[in-house]
Amino acid sequence: MTHGTTRPGGWLRRRLRRVAVWGAGLLVLAAAAGFGYETIARQSDSEHHKAPGRLVDVGGHRLHLHCTGAGAPTVVLEAGLAESSASWEVIQRRLSAGNRVCSYDRAGYAWSDDGPSQGTAEHAAGELRTMLVAAGEAGPYVLVGHSYGGNAIRVFADRWRNLTAGLVLIDVTDETAVEALQISRPLMAVHFTAYQVAARLGLLRLMGDAFVPAEATAAARRHAVVVYGSGSMAAARAEAWAGVDSAAQVRATVRPRAWGDLPVVVISAAGQPAAVTEQARALAALSTRGRLVVATTKDHYVQHGQPDLVLDAIREVASAHGRR
Among 135-144, 160-169, 315-324, whose mean pLDDT is lowest?
Answer: 315-324
Per-residue model confidence (pLDDT) at position 42: 52
What is the H or E stretch that residue 203 is in?
Answer: helix 203-206
Confidence of residue 13 (pLDDT cuts 50, 70, 90): low
- Over range 252-257, report the average pLDDT: 94
pLDDT in tens, 52-95: 999 999 999 999 999 999 999 999 999 999 999 999 999 999 99
Output the pLDDT for position 179.
92
Question: In the predicted model, is pLDDT for residue 43 greater than 80?
Answer: no
Return the number of other C-beta atoms located less than 10 Å from residue 203's C-beta. Answer: 17
218-247, pLDDT tens digit by residue?
988 888 888 888 888 999 999 999 999 999
Which DSSP string do the residues of 49-73 spell out, in sequence order? S--SSEEEESSSSEEEEEEE---SS
pLDDT of residue 197: 79
What pLDDT was estimated at residue 231? 87
Round to whole Å and give the CA distance between 238 and 265: 29
Residue 258 φ/ψ, nearest 5 degrees: -60, -30
User: How many residues does the structure list for the chain?
Assistant: 324
CB neighbourhood size of 208 (10 A): 15
pLDDT of residue 11: 60
pLDDT band at 36 (very low <50, low <70, confident <90, very high): very low
Whether residue 140 has a cis bond before it, omega within 30° of 0: yes
- Binned at pLDDT 50, 70 and 90, residue 199 comes out as confident
Half-sphere exposure of 30 (CA within 13 A, CB side): 8
CB neighbourhood size of 257 (10 A): 12
Do 140 and 73 touch, CB atoms closer than 8 A? yes
Q: Is the pLDDT of residue 129 over 80?
A: yes
C-alpha torsion 227→228→232→234, nearest 10: -170
> Which of 16-20, 21-25, 27-31, 251-255 is predicted least confidently?
27-31
Question: At residue 33, does pLDDT exceed 70?
Answer: no
Q: Is the pLDDT at 27 greater than 90, yes or no? A: no
Q: How far apart are the C-alpha atoms of 154 and 53, rounded to whole Å?
A: 25
More confident residue, 37 or 196: 196
> Which is more confidently placed, 234 or 5?
234
Report long-range pairs for 306-313 (Cβ below 8 Å, ≥24 apart): 307/90, 307/91, 307/94, 309/267, 310/91, 310/144, 310/168, 310/170, 310/267, 311/91, 311/94, 311/95, 313/168, 313/265, 313/267
Q: What is the pLDDT of residue 224?
A: 81
User: What does the alpha-carbon distance between residue 37 and residue 259 come to, in Å, rounded to a whole number?
Assistant: 51
H helices present in 65-105, as ranges: 89-95
Cα–Cα dist 64/43, whole Å: 19
**pLDDT of amino acid 214:** 83
How do residues 145-174 score in pLDDT, each as one tens digit?
A: 999 999 999 999 999 999 999 999 999 999
Lowest mean pLDDT among 87-101, 201-215, 246-260: 201-215
Determine which of 47-51, 112-116, 143-147, 156-160 has the lowest per-residue pLDDT on average.
Answer: 47-51
pTM, full prediction = 0.87
Contact 199, 191 (CB under 8 A): no
